[in-house]
Amino acid sequence: MTYNTVAIGDLVNKDTDKDGILDWEEPLWGLDPTKIETTPGVPDSSVIKKLRAEQGFEISTTEGIVENYSENLTETEKFSREFFSTAAALSQSGVTDQETMDQIGVALAEKIQNSSPRKIFQLLDIKAINNNSAQTIETYASSLNNAYVKNPIKGNVVDILEKFIIDENNVDGSVLEELDPIIKQTQNLINEVLKINVPESLTLQHLDFLNAMERVVENISNIRLYNSDVVLALGGISQYDKNTILLESALKNLSDAISQKLNS
């Protein structure tokens, strides 16, 4: 994003005195972003190190420059930090207005809603076999059916979400416990499908089906974390319908491919 001719990313990452502490952050600690030593004889990096240590953060430095400090941040905390740092950088630079802040909010929300899946299965993850005979395909189809029979998915995510959302201002987080068996059953099904020998001619459809299931179970798992990571949960909710449709499409494509192979 840009504001007139100023790139927002450049503002957020600006470090005028090159001491490893970004300009927008220094005033928050009472430091001058144009000076390596706001207090003569005391490097700003040392001040930051002390203050962060007092707050329980582990940090490392090289030649007095702050390199990193370790934190276990949820997606909600990451989102909040990114939004805050952007707003602070713009405000301190005097280039902010309501329209720009609205654009930033939309951009960050879209980033959460369009987050990438954590796991993507590849050809090396499945048991592909160089055999495309009718018997092999029938055995494959039977194995898929047995996997479903062995790991039935009981429960309906949409019904649970309807109970979860009381009204536009209230939710019942305890209802999300009902997602636990669905998550477990879906993960068990994925694990079972990974064990199946896949005819080489069906590997692409098989992978699409696996990855579609993985996306859906990740969405449900994220929704389950609403009480501890609301941004991650909202991302899961926003993606769930789309990924459910993708799963239905992937399953249909796989079924059609099996039928085509057996009838050819």
pLDDT in tens, 173-216: 999 999 999 999 999 999 999 999 999 999 999 999 999 999 99
pLDDT at 215: 96
pLDDT at 47: 85
Residue 65 or residue 176, greater confidence: 176
Mean pLDDT to the nearest integer, 70-79: 68
Q: What percent of the chain has pLDDT over 90?
A: 46
Beta bridge pairs of residue 3: 6
Q: Residue 89 pLDDT > 80, yes or no? A: no
pLDDT in tens, 216-255: 999 999 999 998 888 889 889 989 999 999 999 999 999 9
DSSP calls for 154-165:
-S-HHHHHHHHE
Q: Residue 24 pLDDT > 90, yes or no? A: no
C-beta of residue 86 within 8 angstroms of C-beta of residue 12: yes
| Lowest-pLDDT choice from 3-7, 54-58, 97-101, 106-110 | 3-7
Q: Which own/partner contact pairs does 18-21 have at CB distance under 8 Å and 24+ positions apart? A: 19/43, 19/44, 19/45, 19/64, 19/65, 19/66, 20/45, 20/65, 20/66, 20/67, 21/45, 21/48, 21/66
Q: Residue 59 pLDDT > 60, yes or no? A: no
| Lowest-pLDDT choice from 51-60, 85-94, 173-182 | 51-60
Distances (CA, A) of 225 to 6, 98, 136: 37, 32, 41
pLDDT grade for 8, boundaries at 50, 70 and 90: low
List, in order of start, the domains of the chain with CATH numbers. 2-113 (no CATH), 123-263 (1.20.120)
pLDDT at 62: 46
pLDDT at 92: 72
Residue 9 or residue 179, greater confidence: 179
pLDDT at 191: 96
Q: Residue 7 pLDDT > 70, yes or no? A: no
